[in-house]
Structure 1
Amino acid sequence: MSDFALPQMRRLKLSPTLSFYIARQFCGWFFGLYVSLAFIIFLVSIIDLVDRLSTQEKTPLSIVIEMALYRLPFFAQEILPFTILGAGMFTFWKLTRTNELVVARAAGISAWQFLLPAVSVSLIIGVLAVGVLNPISAVMLKQYDALEARYIKNRVSELSVSQSGLWLRQPEKGGQTVIHAQRAAQTGMTLQDVTFYVFKGEDDFVRRIDAKSAQLLEGQWLVRDAHVSVPGVPTTSEPELTLPTTLTSEKILDSFSPPETISFWNLPGFIRLLERAGFRATRHLLQFHKLLSLPMLFTAMVLLSASFSLRPQRRGKVGVILLTGVVIAFMLYFLTNFVFALGLSGKIPVLLAAWSPAGISLMIGATMLLHLEDG
């Protein structure tokens, strides 16, 4: 009697046709949700700006629309993880409902294989978000901040950091003082190698003060080793003098360019510039690594969406499954903000704060898929 062996089912490779079909379905849901959410955000932004500008006199509607458009790319970048999560859930739910994925799995194609097209698309979106959308968002958000400062806050930025050091503008009654320093001390608000340019009115130069250091105290600058130059008068030296000021350390730090207004490509140079000037660059470093982690986060969103949408409908109501996925997504969102706050406060390392949301999401999604596929 000859030996008889049962045929073994082999894992089939995902065909290019099926891969393209799944990717097309995912892209369709993604762009549909993305445009819809962006349009809703644009309308809400206009309403918010109209309310904020209602106290200002004669602000034209064109300015409101312009400000809303400038802010739109930033919000469009922020909603990307949720859009990818929603696109994945609707894509896999539809393919499961029509039994297309059931047939594919019966043919020997694993869940990991038919997830590959959606994961690939999410990685491409992540790279484009970091390399293309973020620079556009940064430039336009900076324009929005300028308009906001002009029409809503009625103030201008008081701090500028450049290769030549840092510049401060100190408004005063009847004039202004422009302060230039080579660097600042890491602890406290002490400027080193500092120069004060005192003006009466807009550009009527009064005097110049060069000093070794200037420490910001409550309501005044304490200037040490100062040399005072007045036009037409010999330079005098003062071991110590005080200058009145309306600046505070909080006001100065708030005048830094927000990390969201700096392009991903320019962030490393700006971080080095801040550190060389003597300031902490925690917020900007966190933003840089947060952007770097976006492709991983988007991949995690696809895995999470699949783990909630690939379950057979007989195991529970589809609405409950989708609602559970949305709840988990918002929990991760608030967890992300909490971890970022810990990183900004120095409770945990910046790298851990920036990468842990994406890493934790990826591990949760992969674990749930393993349980679904092999459990």
Structure 2
Amino acid sequence: MLSRLFPAPTLARYTARMFITRTFAFLAGLALILMTLDLLGESGRILAVPGNGEAELWKYVSIRMPQIIALFLPFSVLLATLLTFMTLNQNSEITIFKAAGISAHQILAPLVLAGLVIAALNFIFNERVLVRANFEYDRWKAAEYHPVPPEEPTGREVWVRAGSDLWHVARVEGAGADTRLHDVSLYIRSDERLVAIVRADEARPAAGGWLLVNASRFDVATGKRTASSRIALPTGAQPQQFTTRSVNADHLPFWQLWPAIRDLKAAGKPTDQLVAKLNHKISGPLSAALMPLLGSVAAFGLARSGKLFVRAVIGLALGFAFFVVDNFAMAMADFGTYPPWAAAWAPFLLFFLVGESVLVRTEE
């Protein structure tokens, strides 16, 4: 079975080694050049902050470089694919392979397998390194490169809507049945009109609603205010609505984003955008395995026919078209126009079929 999928082991290692070497060579060159240009553009803002110096410049490089690597790795794979195929074609090695009875799919198989290995490494890099770099970079840049205080693990202000009622909580602690709300203000509304305002020092989950401690209620219609040490308040507000934080998919690895989405769903909050990004964490790196198929148009045809450059341009256009469509689909998912699964996977499947169609119709 393997002999039908792959050429001889020596040829497979030869083409895969050419492809991987060129991929990381392109990536290193692009990353160094772009990191240098980016640092030149931002160094003035970093050093303008009192107390910042060389250490902060190196900190910027350490958190910005993973972003540049992740952004340009797919482009490096595409360029490496085209250069590998152009070299094999120009040296008539493709002609020799085909004369030996090796099909076009067998020529591509080692590069696709190498692309899958690169995709796996890219996924691990993204989920282990990139998410941390994104978190640190976004916080530091939001502070305009001033020192950033450590993030508070608990105790944050929350606004929640339950039906037509609005909750404002100054501080939230705990989770589930142990959730505690501090300095609670509840605005009870009916038909979009304010009916009453309830304030309490603390609220905790109870059967059918919440138990308010040291509470007072102000009725808008009568203007009367009543106080009570404890009020049992029936309401549809759930503890998850107060304890689930806003989630940034770029800051969480795959295995943490999945349960965060589940908690948001349980709290009744929209999750389509996060589901799209969760799936794109897999489909994005897999583009490394798709590039050899899209760039294969540069592998075939006689180099002396003068069309090798045209074929390379077509392969480059197909690769860039994939990135454009992929980014467009994710943008549409952000607006809620595309279903999340389609936004993440449709571009990959579409260009897989396009690449296969071009390969089969021209070479097989």
- TM-score class, shorter: 0.7 to 0.9
Partner of 2:216: 237
Task: Kindly indicate whether the alpha-carbon contact (under 8 Å) linking 2:94 and 2:299 is maintained by their aligned counterparts in 1.
Answer: no
Match of 2:184 in 1: 210
Matches within 5 A, 1:324-335: 324-335=314-325
Q: Indicate how the Cα distance of structure 1 residues 256 and 55 shifts in structure 2: closer, same or farther if over 3 A, else same.
A: farther
- Residue 122 of structure 1, aligned match among 108, 115, 126: 115
TM (norm. structure 1) is: 0.73
Question: Are residues 1:270 and 2:260 paired?
Answer: yes
Summarize deviations over 1:177-231 as a string: whole Å, max 9, x none. xx246x655x99x755x5335xxxxxxxxxx63344589xxxxxx895423449x
Question: Is it true that 1:98 corresponds to 2:88 in the alignment?
Answer: no
- 1:294 and 2:284 matched: yes
For residues 309-360 of structure 1, give each alpha carbon's deviation from its aligned partner in whole angstroms, at most 9, with x where no partner exists: 3332233343333233323322322222221121121212111011111111
Counterpart AA for 2:98: R
Correspondence 1:319 to 2:298: no
- Partner of 2:254: helix, strand, or coil? coil
Structure 1, 115-124 or 129-138: larger mean CA deviation = 129-138
Q: Mapping of 1:323-362 within 5 angstroms?
A: 323-362=313-352
Q: Does 1:261 align with 2:251?
A: yes
Q: Residues of 2 paired with 1:238 and 1:195: CA distance? A: 16
The answer on 1:196 being equivalent to 2:142 is: no
Could you tell me how far apart the structure 1 residues matched to 2:133 and 2:195 are? 39
Q: Which amino acid aligns with 1:350?
A: P
> TM-score when scaled to structure 2?
0.75
SS at match of 1:39: helix
Partner of 2:21: 28
Structure 1 residues 75 and 341 mapped into 2: Cα distance closer, same or farther (>3 Å)?
Answer: same
Amino acid at match of 1:238: R
What amino acid does structure 2 have at the position aligned with 1:16?
Answer: P
Query: In angstroms, what is the RMSD of aligned CA positions?
Result: 3.4
The one-letter code of the counterpart of 1:361 is F
* Pairing partner for 2:62 from 44, 66, 69: 69
Secondary structure of the structure 2 residue equivalent to 1:362: helix
Deviations 1:53-98 (A, max 9, x none): 4654453232133123212212211222211111111111111111
Cα distance in 2 between the residues matched to 1:26 and 1:97: 16
User: What is the letter of the counterpart of residue 35 of structure 1?
Assistant: A
The one-letter amino acid paired with 2:272 is T
Q: Is the 8 A contact 1:184 1:277 kept in 2?
A: no
Shift of 1:362: 0.9
Assess, with a 3 A threshold, how the Cα gap between structure 1 residues 325 and 157 changes in structure 2: closer, same or farther: farther
Q: Name the counterpart of 2:177.
A: none
With 64-73 and 24-33 compared, the bigger mean Cα shift is at 64-73
Distance 1:14 1:310 in 2: 17
- CA change 1:25–1:256 in 2 (3 A) is same
- Structure 2 match to 1:244: none
Q: Secondary structure at the match of 2:57?
A: helix
Asked whether the 8 Å contact 1:88–1:302 carries over to 2, the reply is: yes
User: What amino acid is the match of 1:50?
Assistant: S
- Name stretches of at least 5 consecutive residues in structure 2 with no aligned partner: 172-181, 203-212, 221-244
Aligned to 1:226: 198
Is structure 2 residue 254 aligned with structure 1 residue 282? no
Secondary structure at 2:134 match in 1: helix
Identity rate, percent:
25
Q: 2:10 aligns with which of 17, 20, 23?
A: 17
Query: Alignment partner of 2:216: what SS?
Result: strand
The number of aligned residues is 315
Deviation at 1:135, TM superposition (A): 2.2
Distance change >3 Å, CA 53–CA 223, structure 1 → 2: farther
